Amino acid sequence: MKFLDEAKVWVKAGDGGDGVVAFRREKYIEFGGPDGGNGGKGGDVVVEAVDGLNTLIDYRYAQHFKARKGGNGAGSDRTGAGSDDVVLKVPIGTQILAEDKETLLADLDAPGRRVVIARGGDGGYGNAHYKTSTNRAPRRADKGWPGEERWIWLRLKLIADAGLVGLPNAGKSTFLAAVSAARPKIADYPFTTLHPQLGVVRLNASEEFVLADIPGLIEGAHEGAGLGDRFLGHVERCAVLLHLVDGSQPDPVGAWRTVRAELEGYGNGLAEKPEVLALNKLDAMTPQAKASRLKALERAAGRRVHLISGATGEGVPEVLRALREVMREREAAA
């Protein structure tokens, strides 16, 4: 299924049904009086987060959603039928934004969470509603109220416990494939990953977490260069970031600083998230290069750097345990 993480849709709630003017006319009843019923309520438009979805592709081709009008009232003081709601099912983690693409209307970050995004109109009153002791035969009935309508943006931010970041070709997809059942595309050229991938990492029989891989970042990504900042939102919800640096290149410190600058430029708290740093592609480095690059990166980052190889699996279990330890600390603090 094609991945789509953003869609613009138009929603229109149902108008309320009309009230009616009617009078009771029956044999042997001398003073029937008004008995026009009220109109029914128009249907709402509801957005609901459900399990089993991970893309907004359903809203690429169907972009207009309209609820039905409420039923009109009838004689014998009968109220019109209310219309059913229209429910838009979206993946967990979907945000609903106003047409300006900035105002957040709702954040559906849990299964079953739902929000009424366009409320249906109330039904109009029939003439029975206006009957009083001094107005015994009103001939007034109201039209139903119009339902709300608006354009909205749906933006998906995947729910993951940990996120992979790094320059293109840093070995993120290889790492994800090595630690989970995910099978992302792997090739020896940049931007192999064109959309986010999720994988479930199982540490043991009782512990597991979700790991997200996003397309590689390049300098200027937060301003739209390369694949831009479009996919950085998918790691906003992560508790910890795993920053992979390609150890086979001559300047790992520069690569680390480039990605850190993009995280800071993007904002939204990404630069402040806990980070586990790993020098990848250990199998492609000579012992001398491994020692010098590891030392330089630890000096620049001011923290421990893990040496790993996503291809051979060397050092990978230690990195996974480090990620899980950060998650435990965050859970305890919460």
For residue 231, say whether it is annotated as part of any ligand binding site: no
For residue 167, say whether it is annotated as part of any ligand binding site: yes
At 333, give phi and psi (nearest 5°): -70, -35
For residue 313, say whether it is annotated as part of any ligand binding site: no
For residue 127, say whether it is annotated as part of any ligand binding site: no
For residue 160, say whether it is annotated as part of any ligand binding site: no
Question: Within 13 Å, how many C-alpha atoms sit on residue 217's CB side?
Answer: 31
- Alpha helix segments (H runs only) across the chain: 58-61, 172-179, 252-266, 287-301, 316-333
For residue 120, say whether it is annotated as part of any ligand binding site: no
For residue 38, say whether it is annotated as part of any ligand binding site: no
- Joined tokens for residue 71: 């039923």
For residue 80, say whether it is annotated as part of any ligand binding site: no
For residue 168, say whether it is annotated as part of any ligand binding site: yes
Q: Got the DSSP string for 247-298?
A: TTSS-HHHHHHHHHHHHHHH-TTSTTS-EEEEEE-GGGS-HHHHHHHHHHHH
For residue 191, say whether it is annotated as part of any ligand binding site: yes
For residue 170, say whether it is annotated as part of any ligand binding site: yes
For residue 108, say whether it is annotated as part of any ligand binding site: no
For residue 268, say whether it is annotated as part of any ligand binding site: no
Q: Name 274's Cβ contacts closer than 8 Å, sequence gap at least 6.
A: 239, 240, 241, 326, 330
For residue 311, say whether it is annotated as part of any ligand binding site: yes
For residue 214, say whether it is annotated as part of any ligand binding site: yes
For residue 216, say whether it is annotated as part of any ligand binding site: yes
For residue 213, say whether it is annotated as part of any ligand binding site: yes
Query: Are β-strands 86-91 and 45-50 bridged in parallel, bridged antiparallel, or unpaired?
Result: parallel
For residue 192, say whether it is annotated as part of any ligand binding site: yes
For residue 81, say whether it is annotated as part of any ligand binding site: no
For residue 282, say whether it is annotated as part of any ligand binding site: yes
At 323, give phi and psi (nearest 5°): -60, -45
For residue 184, say whether it is annotated as part of any ligand binding site: no
For residue 281, say whether it is annotated as part of any ligand binding site: yes
| Annotated binding-site members for Mg(2+) | 173, 193
| Annotated binding-site members | 166-173, 191-195, 213-216, 280-283, 309-311
| Annotated binding-site members for GTP | 166-173, 191-195, 213-216, 280-283, 309-311
